[in-house]
């Protein structure tokens, strides 16, 4: 009797506790980071030296020692404000060592003794300056103003590197529309005696009109947008001699519009290495140039593939070695490490993983080992591996399944870890003994809220390859009930939605929608998505969407067989490539989905950019059948469900012409579509307006998925 009473009390307490949990709002879910609903982090965490690290805690930077994890220094906002009274928040650290840090305030970069504290030096640059690139060796800042490039030092705020009046020629900015791993346009040599920079001539690139509605009347804003099969930019690489204040160019003929990518310097500053890719993107040469004369020294090696070659990581020289470097290549089907000499001789293949290397963290203190991050056998994970350069011995440094993100300094890695079950753990891993010390554990930020449940699934494609999926169910899930489904899709290259991290990689609005609206939210990474190897990813070549659609239908058919899924109430939503996939599924599988919402969608690949579009589809002239098979307008008559297109009015990535031409085709063919635009938003809707976007998307699904 007592036991029975005890169980009743426990049940009552459990029900009462659940009832007292807070309800998420959609606004909270969409703005979750600012609302504190994602796991806490040691913000701006970075190494200072082998023995200490720094991070931001509220209004102060905290410095801790590795040896005992004790606080050795605290630098508050008030400390900074003694020298910079206008600072409203902690400045972001650009670089730091044991004695000083660098940070930007306004149009100045400050060298700051954070122990005193005291200003050591200040570099001021033009107020219109952008794309700043600091070199701490010689206290120099490279920056751009409009289409030209400049350098500033402590005594001169504007030393011209280029002074070109023609606005079609742009210096010091990223080229090739940020493809090929390109993220910036300036590259300091190791000792800062030279500055290499990208330059692009966009004279052959068509102007694309965008309309600014904030002016009275509205005004035209032209951008340069190279569409597939049309004129592209002509790239160059300039070298600025800091001492002589003179600029010259590498002697490369790019009149054929081939790409200059993955620029790097030799340690002795004598040579510049450039991965050159033809416009067809099926041939790559790693070329070595004399930095002073600009002349080509030699081609070190070439790579060819009948689909595409895509270098994304520059040559990385071994420590204290100016003759050998590491190159990452996908030539054997997975991204692996290869050791080369500057004579072009392949010394050895350092890794032979059957899964991709994701990045190189660096070398250990001895320089005998290179540390990499790679997926491991499960593509949803990320692990660290130590690779011995001489003997090839490989040691896996992490054992916990999940996503490990690291920073290396000397013989220690700062490991920022998360998994489906673990919000966040930050540890220090010692490379010598493998010991791991946890320095931070985040609590579940949703523990006081009613939340959905997330689980991983593995399905199998027609070729037998595993397809990783994620299913989010309401917290009060009832196996005997029939639930409607929202499928969220991306499906394109360079993206992986299902990962073994907190919430399974899902944004919090999915959790809210599942729990508050009694939905199942399902996501599957299909062929073409990232971190599965070249064969898995390259099946999209010349016919984007086909293999992806087959895989997504595997997911749909799996869902339909589940006793708790309402097979007559399945909706689909995606953005960008996911918008393309949404339109494709709605028009090529018209009896499957009641509702679709396609955001920023590619609707015709001929309207997409040269660099990305031609890699996967070739040109419209070379592949007319592939472009025909993926042009959504050709299948719009098939549409049976309700379809909403959403587009930013000044989208410079997937230009508004995509949605406009599909709407025109729908009108011509007497097909009803819905459309909504976000005025003056670019490729995605950000900030507080994103709440409006998600309300629009989810209300449309709720209204029509019946």
C-alpha distances out from residue 450 to 17, 375, 471, 477, Å? 10, 32, 17, 12
Structure tokens at 166: 């023609």
In words, the CATH class of domain 453-704 is alpha beta
Overall average pLDDT of the 413-437 stretch: 96
How far is Cα 49 from Cα 60, in angstroms, rounded to an integer?
19
Q: Can you tell me the distance from the alpha carbon of 520 to that of 511, in angstroms, rounded to the nearest whole number?
A: 9
Q: How is residue 579 written in tokens?
A: 């918008």
188 CA to centre of own chain: 24
- C-alpha 474, offset from chain centre: 30
Q: According to the model, what pLDDT value does residue 14 have?
A: 42
User: CA–CA separation, 492 vs 478, rounded Å?
Assistant: 34
* pLDDT value at residue 58: 87
334-349 tens-digit pLDDT: 999 999 999 999 999 9
String of DSSP letters for 314-378: --EEPTT-SSEEEEEE-TTSS-EEEEEETTS-EEEE----SS-EEEEEEE-TTSSEEEEEE--SS
Query: Rounded to whole angstroms, how far apart are CA atoms 165 and 207?
Result: 18
Q: Is 647 a catalytic residue?
A: no
pLDDT band at 19 (very low <50, low <70, confident <90, very high): low
Cα distance between the two ends of the chain: 49
Beta strands 346-349 and 336-341: pairing type? antiparallel
Average pLDDT of the segment spanning 556-582: 98
- What is each CA distance from 632 to 52, 64, 587, 638, in whole angstroms? 55, 56, 7, 10
Q: Please tell me what DSSP assigns to residue 672.
A: -
Report if pTM > 0.85. Answer: yes
Residue 648: both structure tokens together: 């930013």
Structure tokens at 488: 């969220």
> Which residues lie closer than 8 Å to 559 by C-beta, 6 or more apart?
485, 520, 522, 565, 567, 570
For residue 552, give the H/E element and its range: helix 546-561
CA distances from 107 to 92, 124, 141, 561, 583 (A): 14, 6, 11, 61, 45
Given 576, 647, 659, 681, which residue is catalytic?
Answer: 576
DSSP 197-262: EEEEE-TTSPEEEEEETTSSS-EEEEEE--BTTS---EEEEEEEETTTTEEEE-----TT--EEEE
The 10s digit of each residue's pLDDT in 139-186 is: 999 999 999 999 999 999 999 999 999 999 999 999 999 999 999 999
Give the chain's count of helices (H) and strands (E).
Answer: 11, 43
Which residue from 618, 638, 630, 489 is spatially nearest to 553, judged by alpha carbons?
489
Q: What are the domain boundaries of the chain?
A: 354-444, 453-704
Mean pLDDT of 472-489: 97
Question: Mind listing the pLDDT tens digit for each residue in 262-315?
Answer: 999 999 999 999 999 999 999 999 999 999 999 999 999 999 999 999 999 999
The neighbouring-strand residues paired with 572 are: 487, 596
- CA–CA separation, 516 vs 26, rounded Å? 9
Residue 1 has pLDDT above 70, yes or no: no
Please state whether beta strands 483-489 and 520-524 pair in parallel, antiparallel, or not at all (unpaired).
parallel
DSSP label of 24: P
**Coil, helix or strand for 284?**
strand
| pLDDT score, position 649 | 98
pLDDT higher than 50, residue 451 = yes
Catalytic option among 538, 651, 659, 681: 651
The residue from 248, 283, 494, 683 that is catalytic is: 683
Phi, psi (deg, nearest 5) at residue 390: -85, -45
Eight-class DSSP state of 507: -
What is the sign, positive or negative, of the torsion defined by CA atoms of 174, 178, 184, 185? negative
Q: What is the DSSP code string of 34-50?
A: TTT-S----EEEEEEET
3-state DSSP assignment of residue 537: helix
Task: Categorize the per-residue pLDDT at 9 as very low, low, confident or very high, splitting at 50, 70 and 90.
Answer: very low
* Domain boundaries 354-444, corresponding CATH code: 2.40.10
Task: Tell me what the mean pLDDT of segment 574-598 comes to.
Answer: 98
Residue 609 DSSP class: B
Mean pLDDT of 98-103: 97
Quote the DSSP letter at residue 599: E
Distance CA 612, CA 225 (A): 12
- In this structure, the chain runs to a length of 706
Burial of 568: CB neighbours in 10 Å, binned 0-12, 13-18, 19+: exposed
pLDDT digits (tens, 9 = 90+) for 608-663: 999 999 999 999 999 999 999 999 999 999 999 999 999 999 999 999 999 999 99
Tell me the C-alpha distance between 473 and 462, whole Å: 27
Nearest-5° Cα angle at 5, 4 to 6: 90
Q: Minimal CA–CA distance to 336: which of 359, 362, 314?
A: 359
Categorize the per-residue pLDDT at 5 as very low, low, confident or very high, splitting at 50, 70 and 90: very low
Q: What are the CA-CA distances from residue 512 to residues 28, 446, 503 (Å)?
A: 9, 11, 12
Cα distance between residue 139 and residue 191, in whole Å: 11
Scan for tokens 């015709």, then name that residue. Answer: 604
CB neighbourhood size of 299 (10 A): 12
In the prediction, which pLDDT does 664 show? Answer: 98
Q: What is the mean pLDDT of the chain?
A: 96
pLDDT score, position 242:
98
The DSSP line for 418-455 is E-SS-S-EEEEEETTT--EEEEEE---TTTTB---EEE
In the residue annotation, 683 being an active-site residue is answered as: yes
Helices 508-517, 689-704: axis angle to 10 degrees equals 40
Cα 277 to Cα 182: distance, rounded to the nearest angstrom: 13
Q: Is 418 a catalytic residue?
A: no
- Following CA atoms 572, 578, 584, 590 in sequence, which dihedral angle do they give, to the nearest 10 degrees? 0
Contact 44, 50 (CB under 8 A): no
CA angle (184 as vertex; 131, 114 as ends), nearest 5: 55
């Amino acid at each position: 009797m007592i036991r029975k009473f005890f169980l009743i009390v426990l049940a009552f307490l459990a029900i009462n506790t659940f009832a007292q949990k807070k309800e998420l709002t959609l606004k909270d879910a969409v703005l979750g980071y600012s609302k504190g609903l994602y796991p806490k982090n040691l913000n701006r965490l970075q190494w200072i030296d082998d023995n200490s690290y720094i991070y931001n805690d509220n209004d102060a930077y905290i410095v801790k020692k590795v040896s005992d994890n004790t606080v050795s220094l605290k630098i508050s906002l008030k400390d900074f404000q003694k020298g910079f009274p206008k600072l409203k928040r902690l400045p972001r650290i650009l670089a730091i060592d044991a004695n000083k840090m660098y940070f930007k305030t306004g149009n100045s970069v400050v060298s700051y003794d954070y122990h005193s504290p005291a200003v050591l030096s200040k570099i001021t640059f033009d107020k219109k300056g952008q794309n700043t690139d600091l070199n701490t060796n010689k206290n120099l800042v490279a920056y751009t103003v409009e289409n030209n490039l400049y350098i500033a030092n402590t005594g001169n705020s504007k030393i011209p590197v280029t002074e070109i009046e023609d606005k079609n020629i742009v210096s010091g900015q990223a080229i090739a529309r940020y493809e090929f791993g390109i993220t910036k346009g300036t590259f300091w040599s190791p000792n800062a005696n030279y500055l290499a920079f990208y330059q692009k001539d966009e004279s052959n690139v068509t102007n694309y009109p965008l309309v600014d509605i904030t002016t009275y009347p509205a005004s035209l804003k032209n951008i340069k947008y190279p569409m597939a099969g049309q004129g592209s930019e002509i790239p160059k690489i300039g070298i600025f001699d800091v001492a002589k204040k003179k600029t010259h160019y590498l002697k490369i003929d790019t009149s054929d519009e081939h790409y200059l990518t993955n620029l790097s310097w030799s340690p002795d500053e004598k040579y510049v290495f450039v991965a050159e890719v033809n416009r067809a993107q099926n041939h790559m040469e790693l070329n070595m140039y004399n930095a002073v004369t600009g002349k080509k020294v030699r081609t070190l090696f070439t790579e060819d593939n009948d689909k595409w070659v895509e270098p994304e990581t520059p040559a990385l020289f071994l420590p204290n070695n100016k003759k050998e470097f590491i190159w990452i290549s996908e030539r054997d089907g997975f991204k692996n490490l290869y050791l080369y000499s500057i004579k072009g001789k392949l010394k050895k293949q350092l890794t032979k993983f059957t899964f991709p290397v994701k990045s190189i963290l660096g070398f250990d203190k001895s320089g005998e080992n290179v540390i990499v991050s790679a997926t491991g056998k499960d593509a949803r994970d990320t692990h660290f591996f130590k690779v011995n350069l001489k003997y090839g011995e490989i040691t896996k440094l992490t054992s916990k399944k999940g996503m490990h993100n690291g920073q290396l300094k000397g013989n220690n890695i700062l490991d920022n870890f998360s998994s489906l079950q673990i919000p966040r753990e930050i540890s220090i891993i010692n490379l010598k003994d493998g010991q791991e010390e946890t320095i931070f554990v985040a609590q579940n930020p949703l523990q006081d809220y009613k939340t959905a449940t997330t689980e991983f699934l593995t399905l199998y494609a027609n070729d037998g390859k595993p397809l990783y999926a994620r299913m989010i169910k309401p917290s009060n899930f009832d196996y005997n009930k029939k639930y409607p489904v929202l499928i969220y899709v991306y499906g394109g290259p360079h993206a992986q939605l299902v990962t073994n991290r907190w919430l399974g990689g899902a944004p919090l609005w999915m959790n809210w929608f599942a729990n508050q609206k009694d939905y199942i939210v399902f996501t599957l990474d299909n062929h073409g998505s990232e971190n599965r190897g070249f064969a898995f990813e390259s099946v999209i070549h010349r016919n984007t969407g086909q293999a992806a659609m087959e895989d997504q239908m595997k997911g749909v058919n799996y869902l339909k067989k589940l006793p708790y899924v309402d097979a007559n109430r399945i909706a689909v939503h995606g953005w960008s490539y996911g918008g393309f996939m949404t339109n494709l599924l709605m028009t090529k599988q018209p009896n499957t989905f009641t509702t679709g919402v396609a955001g920023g969608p590619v609707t015709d690949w001929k309207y997409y950019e040269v660099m990305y579009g031609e890699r996967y589809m070739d040109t419209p002239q070379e592949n007319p059948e592939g472009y025909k098979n993926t042009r959504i307008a050709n299948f719009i008559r098939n549409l049976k469900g309700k379809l909403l297109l959403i587009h930013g009015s000044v989208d410079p990535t997937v230009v508004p012409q995509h949605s406009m031409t599909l709407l025109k085709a729908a009108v011509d063919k007497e097909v009803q579509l819905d459309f909504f635009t976000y005025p003056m938003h670019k490729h995605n809707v950000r900030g507080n307006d994103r709440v409006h976007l998600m309300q629009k998307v989810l209300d449309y699904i709720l209204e029509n998925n019946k």
